[in-house]
């Protein structure tokens, strides 16, 4: 029997030899075992067993993160058997779903009961627990990241206890749990604040970079969802906008209209991305966004155009209260730079990251960055509260692998 | 009805995208450009392979050219499967599933005086 497979738990499967490779290919490791328990009780048994043996458990969603959040020498757990709709309340536009439900599947599931998520990120290949736990977001001046829609969670803590937390009964716990990277417990189900299902119209344009920057506030105000791509080898942008069908789009005389489509939100917001890339993303205060972008643009044009053709993405996210949310307490702009996964990226990211940090940036937990320990603690007012809670809920450090201990400065 | 004109295989040996540009971008960006004429009545799928001096070829880069259309594509913009480096010699072989005509153009705005060079690619 492979390590980590408790003898008395029948409702699980395990295999032990597969290498885990994340989506982009840069995070690779071989855990002792990979398991996908079929019930909360089975999750609990695994956690208790790991605690007793001083072993580590991490949970992988769909493997879209490119930081070593899920790297573990011991048990890599999947919540693939915790998926689908559990219950819902149309009067409050809320639904509870399995933690391992992939967003691409969740959209139609919610649609069928008349509900939709408020927003999605650029892709919908991640699990719902994964996007909540890493602070994944879309773009829109009034739209928060996906973790802000968490209103309840069922989880297995580091002691193996199965707990339920709700925003009504334990708002601080929920605020800690929103972006918690699996450090407080293994989510088995999440309750989401949703909206009655709705349609959106997408309209995209090509424009000059300076025109885009000159009209940035108007663009952000006039569209429910707005972001732009900047193309370093053309020094021009693609404007991506979404509005409800009944909301008129403004005239943009400086831009060339290139694409339009309409559909339900889950069909329209996320895009397909097959080409693999590495990404560095930071969240800077909204008011610092334009200046930060200008500096990134200048640096890329001066130093990196020889090897970099991938776009830079500029997105807007409304503030939230998640203890470790990168947009905690401040409306933010997320600036991300990309490179083909098959090409060297480290020198490029190392040169851009200080610019993002100099504008008071906070890194995306699930993407490449160099921060850890005190440097991160200084960015989050509730850092110590989160750490105290982590130690309380996971006293044996079952979820604290070496990469996570280094990240948190708890080595 | 006009018969399809051109060839299914084309080669460009002298690729080299200048690193520097001057003037307003993207109009004046230094670039290598692929110009494809599909005078036929079928959409054409192109497979481009890029060759270098010091490492293995990269590709295929896939492009479609609709029937009876032309398409201009900057090598600078290609990222799938990976970006081509600027200021680096390369060659390209283009394989089409129906005959097309391929022209290669270089815009060099490294200096303010614009330089343009263009030639038909070599038909295989």
- pLDDT digits 0-9 by tens, B76-117: 999 999 999 999 999 999 999 999 999 999 999 998 877 888
Task: Cis check for the bond before A337: say yes or no (omega within 30 of 0).
Answer: no
C-alpha A50/C-alpha A3 separation (Å) is 10
> What's the whole-number mean pLDDT along residues A47-64?
96
C-alpha A54/C-alpha A77 separation (Å) is 16
C-alpha A364/C-alpha A352 separation (Å) is 14
- Report yes or no: A320 and A145 within 8 Å, Cβ to Cβ: yes
| Domain A200-363 top-level CATH class | alpha beta
Q: Which two tokens stand for residue B15?
A: 């690729």
* Domain range summary for chain A, segments of one domain joined by +: 85-196, 200-363
A143-201 pLDDT, tens digit per residue, is 999 999 999 999 999 999 999 999 999 999 999 999 999 999 999 999 999 999 999 99
A chain contacts of residue B26, beta-carbon cutoff 8 Å: 231, 234-236
- Report yes or no: A20 and A70 within 8 Å, Cβ to Cβ: yes
Whether residue A234 is predicted with pLDDT greater than 80 in this model: the reply is: yes
| Burial A337-359, CB ≥16 within 10 A → b, else e | bbbbbbbebeebbeebbebbbeb
Whether residue A214 is predicted with pLDDT greater than 80 in this model: the reply is: yes
Average pLDDT, chain A: 94
Structural domains in chain B plus CATH codes: 7-123 (2.60.290.11)
Residue A308 at interface with chain B, using a CB cutoff of 8 Å:
yes
B10-42 pLDDT, tens digit per residue, is 999 999 999 999 999 999 999 999 999 999 999
Whether residue A1 is predicted with pLDDT greater than 80 in this model: the reply is: no
For B32-66, give the DSSP string.
Answer: EEEEEEE-SSS-EEEEEEEEESSS--EEEEEEEE-
CB contact under 8 Å between B83 and A234, yes or no, is no
Nearest residue, CB atoms, A340 vs list B74, B76, B79: B79
SS3 A306: coil
Q: How many CB pairs under 8 A join A and B?
A: 48
Q: Helices A289-299 & A346-358, crossing angle to 10 degrees?
A: 150
A146-162 pLDDT, tens digit per residue, is 999 999 999 999 999 99
C-alpha A352/C-alpha A334 separation (Å) is 14
C-alpha B77/C-alpha B17 separation (Å) is 11
Task: Show Cβ contacts of residue A93 under 8 Å, excluding neighbours closer than 6 positions.
Answer: A115, A193, A194, A195, A196
Whether residue A274 is predicted with pLDDT greater than 90 in this model: the reply is: no
B59-85 pLDDT, tens digit per residue, is 999 999 999 999 999 999 999 999 999
C-alpha A309/C-alpha A218 separation (Å) is 28
Task: Show Cβ contacts of residue A392 under 8 Å, excluding neighbours closer than 6 positions.
Answer: none
CB contact under 8 Å between A305 and B86, yes or no, is yes
Whether residue A12 is predicted with pLDDT greater than 50 in this model: the reply is: no
Distance from CA of residue A125 to its chain's centroid?
A: 11
Label residue A15 by pLDDT band (50, 70, 90): low
Whether residue A266 is predicted with pLDDT greater than 50 in this model: the reply is: yes
CB contact under 8 Å between B77 and A234, yes or no, is yes
Task: Show Cβ contacts of residue A14 under 8 Å, excluding neighbours closer than 6 positions.
Answer: A2, A4, A5, A33, A34, A35
Is the ipTM beyond the 0.85 threshold? yes
Nearest residue, CB atoms, B85 vs list A235, A307, A342: A307
A81-98 pLDDT, tens digit per residue, is 999 999 999 999 999 999
Residue A207: burial class (beta carbons within 10 Å; 0-12, 13-18, 19+): buried
Residue A298 at interface with chain B, using a CB cutoff of 8 Å:
no
CB contact under 8 Å between B85 and A236, yes or no, is no
Residue B56 at interface with chain A, using a CB cutoff of 8 Å:
no
Whether residue A11 is predicted with pLDDT greater than 80 in this model: the reply is: no
CB contact under 8 Å between B79 and A310, yes or no, is yes
Whether residue A10 is predicted with pLDDT greater than 60 in this model: the reply is: no
In CATH terms, A85-196 corresponds, of 3.20.20.450, 2.60.40.10, 3.30.465.10, 3.20.20.70, to: 3.30.465.10
Note the helical H segments in A196-244.
209-214, 216-222
CB contact under 8 Å between A306 and B29, yes or no, is no
Residue B46: burial class (beta carbons within 10 Å; 0-12, 13-18, 19+): buried
Label residue A272 by pLDDT band (50, 70, 90): confident
Residue A343 at interface with chain B, using a CB cutoff of 8 Å:
yes
C-alpha A185/C-alpha A170 separation (Å) is 15
Note the helical H segments in A243-303.
265-268, 289-299
Residue B114: what pLDDT?
Answer: 77
Residue A296: what pLDDT?
Answer: 98
SS3 A302: helix
Question: Measured on CA atoms in the order A108, A166, A87, A13, is the torsion positive or negative?
Answer: positive
C-alpha A219/C-alpha A237 separation (Å) is 13
Label residue A17 by pLDDT band (50, 70, 90): low
> What's the whole-number mean pLDDT along residues A294-315?
97
| Chain A residue closest in CA terms to B32 | A233
pTM over cut 0.90: yes
Q: Please, what is the Cα angle at A26 between A23 and A28, to 5 degrees? A: 90
Task: Show Cβ contacts of residue A248 under 8 Å, excluding neighbours closer than 6 positions.
Answer: none
The residues pairing with A333 across neighbouring beta strands, listed in sequence order, are: A284, A316
Residue A70 phi/psi, 5-degree rounding, is -105, 0
Are A85-196 and A200-363 the same fold in CATH? no
Label residue B1 by pLDDT band (50, 70, 90): low
Look at chain B and count its residues. 124
SS3 A188: strand
Q: Tell me which of B19, B55, B82, B107 to substitute to probe the interface with A (most A C-beta atoms closer than 10 Å).
A: B82
More confident residue, A252 or B124: A252
A278-289 pLDDT, tens digit per residue, is 999 999 999 999
A354-364 pLDDT, tens digit per residue, is 999 999 999 99
A chain contacts of residue B25, beta-carbon cutoff 8 Å: 234-236
Label residue B2 by pLDDT band (50, 70, 90): low
Q: Secondary structure of chain A: what % helix, strand, coil (to 5)? A: 25, 30, 45
Residue B21: burial class (beta carbons within 10 Å; 0-12, 13-18, 19+): buried
C-alpha B4/C-alpha A262 separation (Å) is 37
Q: Tell me which of B31, B59, B75, B83 to substitute to probe the interface with A (most A C-beta atoms closer than 10 Å).
A: B83
CB contact under 8 Å between B79 and A309, yes or no, is yes
- Report yes or no: A251 and A205 within 8 Å, Cβ to Cβ: no
Task: Give B21 to chain A, closest Cα distance, Å.
Answer: 10
Residue A103: what pLDDT?
Answer: 95
- Report yes or no: A86 and A98 within 8 Å, Cβ to Cβ: yes
Over pLDDT 70: what percentage of chain B? Answer: 98
């Amino acid at each position: 029997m492979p390590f980590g497979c408790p003898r008395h738990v029948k409702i699980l499967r395990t295999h032990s030899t597969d290498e885990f490779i994340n989506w982009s290919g840069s995070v690779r490791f071989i855990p002792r075992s990979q398991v996908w328990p079929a019930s909360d009780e089975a999750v609990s048994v695994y956690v208790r067993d790991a605690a007793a043996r001083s072993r580590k458990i991490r949970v992988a969603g769909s493997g879209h993160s490119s930081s070593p959040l899920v790297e573990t020498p011991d048990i890599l757990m999947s919540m693939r058997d915790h998926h689908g709709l559990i219950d819902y309340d149309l009067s409050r536009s809320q639904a509870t779903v399995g933690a391992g439900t992939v967003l691409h599947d969740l959209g139609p599931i919610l649609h069928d009961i008349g509900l939709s998520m408020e927003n999605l990120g650029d892709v919908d290949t991640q699990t719902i627990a994964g996007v909540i736990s890493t602070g994944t977001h879309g773009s829109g001046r009034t739209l928060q990241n996906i973790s802000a829609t968490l209103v309840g969670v069922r989880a297995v803590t580091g002691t193996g206890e199965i707990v339920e937390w709700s925003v009504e009964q334990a708002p601080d716990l929920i605020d800690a749990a929103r972006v918690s990277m699996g450090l407080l417990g293994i989510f088995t189900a999440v309750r989401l604040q949703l909206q009655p299902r709705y349609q959106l119209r997408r309209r995209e344009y090509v424009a000059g970079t300076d025109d885009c920057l000159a009209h940035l506030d108007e663009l952000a105000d006039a569209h429910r969802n707005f972001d732009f791509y900047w193309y370093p080898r053309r020094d021009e942008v693609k404007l991506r906008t979404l509005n409800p069908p009944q909301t008129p789009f403004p005239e943009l005389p400086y831009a060339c209209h290139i694409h339009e489509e309409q559909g339900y939100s889950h069909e329209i917001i996320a895009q397909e991305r097959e080409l693999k890339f590495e990404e560095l993303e930071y969240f800077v205060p909204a008011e610092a966004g334009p200046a930060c972008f200008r500096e990134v643009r200048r640096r890329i044009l001066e130093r990196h155009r020889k090897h970099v053709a991938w776009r830079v993405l500029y997105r807007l996210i409304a503030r939230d209260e998640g203890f470790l949310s990168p947009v905690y307490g401040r409306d933010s702009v997320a600036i991300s730079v990309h490179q083909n996964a098959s090409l060297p990226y480290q020198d490029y990211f190392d040169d851009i990251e200080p610019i993002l940090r100099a504008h008071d940036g906070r890194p995306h937990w699930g993407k490449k960055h160099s921060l850890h320990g005190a440097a991160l603690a200084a960015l989050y007012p509730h850092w110590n509260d989160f750490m105290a809670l982590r130690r309380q809920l996971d006293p044996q450090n079952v979820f604290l692998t070496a990469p996570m201990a280094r990240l948190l400065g708890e080595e | 009805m006009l018969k399809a004109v051109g060839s299914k295989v084309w080669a460009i040996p002298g690729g080299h995208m200048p690193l520097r540009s001057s003037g307003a971008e993207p109009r004046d960006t230094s670039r290598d450009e692929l110009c494809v004429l599909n005078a036929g009545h079928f959409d054409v799928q192109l497979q481009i392979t890029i060759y270098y001096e010091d490492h293995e070829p990269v590709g295929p880069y896939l492009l479609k050219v609709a029937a009876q259309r032309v398409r201009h594509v900057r090598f600078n913009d290609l990222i799938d499967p990976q970006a081509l480096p600027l200021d680096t010699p390369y060659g390209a072989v283009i394989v089409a599933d129906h005959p097309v005509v391929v022209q290669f153009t270089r815009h060099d705005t490294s200096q303010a005086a614009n330089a343009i060079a263009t030639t038909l690619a070599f038909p295989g």
